[in-house]
Chains A and B, each alone.
Chain A
Amino acid sequence: MDIELYALLSTVILVSTIITLVFALFSYLAFRYRQSGRRSAAVETMAGPAEVARPMFFRRHEGAGY
């Protein structure tokens, strides 16, 4: 394959990857922003009130199975 074609295709791939990553990062930041605004509101959750964030490595041993 021609070396210019390689350069062109690799540029397309890289630009696409970077755009996707930046888009994902902004999606996450927007999500965090929305979540922070929601904290004080009364939220009815499908998961139920018992389901809160669970610590991974510094878990307090509470509840069944932990």
Chain B
Amino acid sequence: MNRRIAQLLFSVLAIGLVVVAVLLLFGSFRLTRLELTDIFLFSSTMVLFVFLLTLVLRYLALLVLAFLQHLRYANRSKELTEYPSVTVVVPAYNEERVIEACIRSVMELDYPNLETIVVDDGSSDHTYYVASKLIERYGSDRLRVLTQPNSGKATALNHGISHARGEILLCVDADSRLEPDAVLKAIPNFNDPTIGAVAGNVRVANRRNLLTRLQALEYIEGLNLVRAAQAVVGRVAVVPGPVGFFRKTVMDEIGGYTTDTYAEDCELTLRIMLSGWKIQYEPQAIAWTEAPEDARALFQQRYRWGRGILQAINKHRGQLLRPAPDPLSWAMLWMLAFESVALPAMDIIGMLVFIFAGITGGLSPLIVLWWVQLAILDTVIAMYCVVLDREDVTLPVYAVLYRLYFVPFVDLMRFFAWLDELFEIRMGWLRLERLGRI
């Protein structure tokens, strides 16, 4: 059957079933207007209650796990008896505005046994020239610049990895800048031979307007808190593109990055995890990255992330039904699906229920109390993350706006991304315009 027709039938069938179910329900009870209103109020209240309960339990679980990780992290051995060789791989496509700052930060890393490979992915600007010029300053033994016809980020990373001589790989986005001690802090994690990768701590560098400050809050509250919680069991679900450490043998074993999703970092992490390797989170391996400064750029970024993560989950969907041999990895795959699909969907449903409840009237106190609870919850979590991450103390101030504007916007972006993915809408990489603010 033609796939388009099958999709259409599938959608019509799904909508039809829901409509029939609702009609049957209402028809069978022969409801009066008053009873309908009562049922609507009761069901709205229940939906919002379940949603709030899920959110509170999620936050509670994340807090407890992140705190356990913090305790364990404080007690772990941070001594380095030897310095394994590290290769930094930086893929770059039209990054002339940021590549110099990125390379400089890599060159200033406080680590003795390190080489750097920049892979120019067929840029049409001066990226290759800017990067090559830096070889004169730092020497060709410390910095190598490769170039290739435009083939994509994953291919560029694989190209760099194929030339790497280090035992540990550090993959860095060209729009990011590393803290000098990032490698020194991350490497002790590899003392445990079962650890295959380590996720770094990504922070927003350009906190110039409200939108980037909200993203700074999101990075610590929405991303790093989750990573810290997942690290308790050594199963971090996404090693971020701006700063990710990998054992070279693991990368060789699993075949490097693949080009079949828009979230190559997430897909790679899932493959490493599902191969039985542990993945840790290192909060002190900090990378500062350039965040989108306007809504259009933010939309593009989140749309790509949304589709990419969905593709990665879909690629490994067979594992969702296989708890063996590693139940923890299986649980983390479900957690990723929950965090990236179920939670935003719940948020959208919650918002729609709000709007209906507000328009039909009668739920004003509930709506206000609901938002006050969420705002308090977000603020408390933000304060906790700020303390734990030693971040900017003013960030929790934005928690209310974060819940009121940022979360709905981002969740709806994800929803549109899923729809487009479902209906096979074609897309390019949606590369963001670099502003040179790292």
Question: Which residues of chain A from 32 to 62 have a CB within 8 Å of any chain B CB?
Answer: 32, 35, 38-39, 43-58
The answer to whether A45 and B150 touch (CB under 8 A), given A9-B368, A18-B355, A31-B299, is yes
Question: Which residues of chain B from 130 to 182 have a CB within 8 Å of any chain A CB?
Answer: 150-155
A63 near B260: Cβ-Cβ < 8 Å:
yes
B260 near A65: Cβ-Cβ < 8 Å:
yes
Asked if B281 is an interface residue, CB under 8 A from chain A, the answer is no
A46 near B93: Cβ-Cβ < 8 Å:
yes
- For B370, the closest partner residue in chain A by CB is A13
Min Cβ gap A32→B in Å is 8
Q: A52 to B426, alpha carbons, bound, how many Å? A: 6
Q: A63 to B351, alpha carbons, bound, how many Å? A: 39
A23 near B295: Cβ-Cβ < 8 Å:
yes
Question: Which residues of chain B from 247 to 271 have a CB within 8 Å of any chain A CB?
Answer: 258-262
Counting chain A CB atoms within 10 Å of each CB, the highest count among B261, B363, B424 belongs to B424
A27 near B299: Cβ-Cβ < 8 Å:
yes
What's the dominant secondary structure at chain B's contact region? helix
Q: A49 to B93, alpha carbons, bound, how many Å? A: 14
Contact with B along A8-26 (1 / 0, CB 8 A): 0111011011101101110
A24 near B404: Cβ-Cβ < 8 Å:
no
Asked if B391 is an interface residue, CB under 8 A from chain A, the answer is no
Q: A13 to B420, alpha carbons, bound, how many Å? A: 29
- Chain B contacts of A63 at CB under 8 A? 260
- Chain B contacts of A20 at CB under 8 A? 404-405, 408-409, 412
B259 near A48: Cβ-Cβ < 8 Å:
yes
What count of chain B residues pass the 8 Å CB interface test?
56
- Chain B contacts of A9 at CB under 8 A? 364, 367-368, 371
A14 near B428: Cβ-Cβ < 8 Å:
no
Across the interface, A28 reaches (CB within 8 A) one of B355, B405, B416, namely B416
What count of chain A residues pass the 8 Å CB interface test?
45
Asked if B340 is an interface residue, CB under 8 A from chain A, the answer is no
Q: A23 to B340, alpha carbons, bound, how many Å? A: 21
The answer to whether A51 and B150 touch (CB under 8 A), given A23-B295, A28-B299, is no
The answer to whether A51 and B409 touch (CB under 8 A), given A14-B358, A28-B416, is no
Asked if B124 is an interface residue, CB under 8 A from chain A, the answer is yes
Q: A3 to B303, alpha carbons, bound, how many Å? A: 40
A46 near B412: Cβ-Cβ < 8 Å:
no
The answer to whether A16 and B365 touch (CB under 8 A), given A45-B429, A53-B425, is no
A54 near B261: Cβ-Cβ < 8 Å:
yes
- Chain A contacts of B408 at CB under 8 A? 17, 20-21, 24
Question: Which residues of chain B from 281 to 311 have a CB within 8 Å of any chain A CB?
Answer: 295-296, 299-300, 303, 310-311
Q: A25 to B1, alpha carbons, bound, how many Å? A: 32
Asked if B6 is an interface residue, CB under 8 A from chain A, the answer is yes
Asked if B190 is an interface residue, CB under 8 A from chain A, the answer is no
- Chain B contacts of A25 at CB under 8 A? 412
B412 near A44: Cβ-Cβ < 8 Å:
no
A45 near B314: Cβ-Cβ < 8 Å:
no
B405 near A49: Cβ-Cβ < 8 Å:
no
Q: A61 to B153, alpha carbons, bound, how many Å? A: 24
A27 near B315: Cβ-Cβ < 8 Å:
no
The answer to whether A51 and B260 touch (CB under 8 A), given A16-B404, A27-B296, A46-B93, is yes
Min Cβ gap A28→B in Å is 5
- For B348, the closest partner residue in chain A by CB is A21
B3 near A16: Cβ-Cβ < 8 Å:
no
The 6 closest A-B pairs by CB, nearest first: A48-B152, A47-B429, A24-B412, A10-B364, A45-B429, A14-B358
Q: List 21 A-B contacts (CB under 8 A).
A: A6-B368, A10-B363, A10-B368, A13-B404, A14-B367, A16-B404, A17-B351, A20-B404, A23-B295, A28-B413, A30-B296, A44-B122, A45-B429, A45-B431, A46-B121, A48-B155, A48-B259, A48-B429, A51-B152, A54-B421, A58-B424
Contacts from A to B (Cβ < 8 Å): 1, 3, 6-7, 9-11, 13-14, 16-18, 20-21, 23-25, 27-28, 30-32, 35, 38-39, 43-58, 63-66
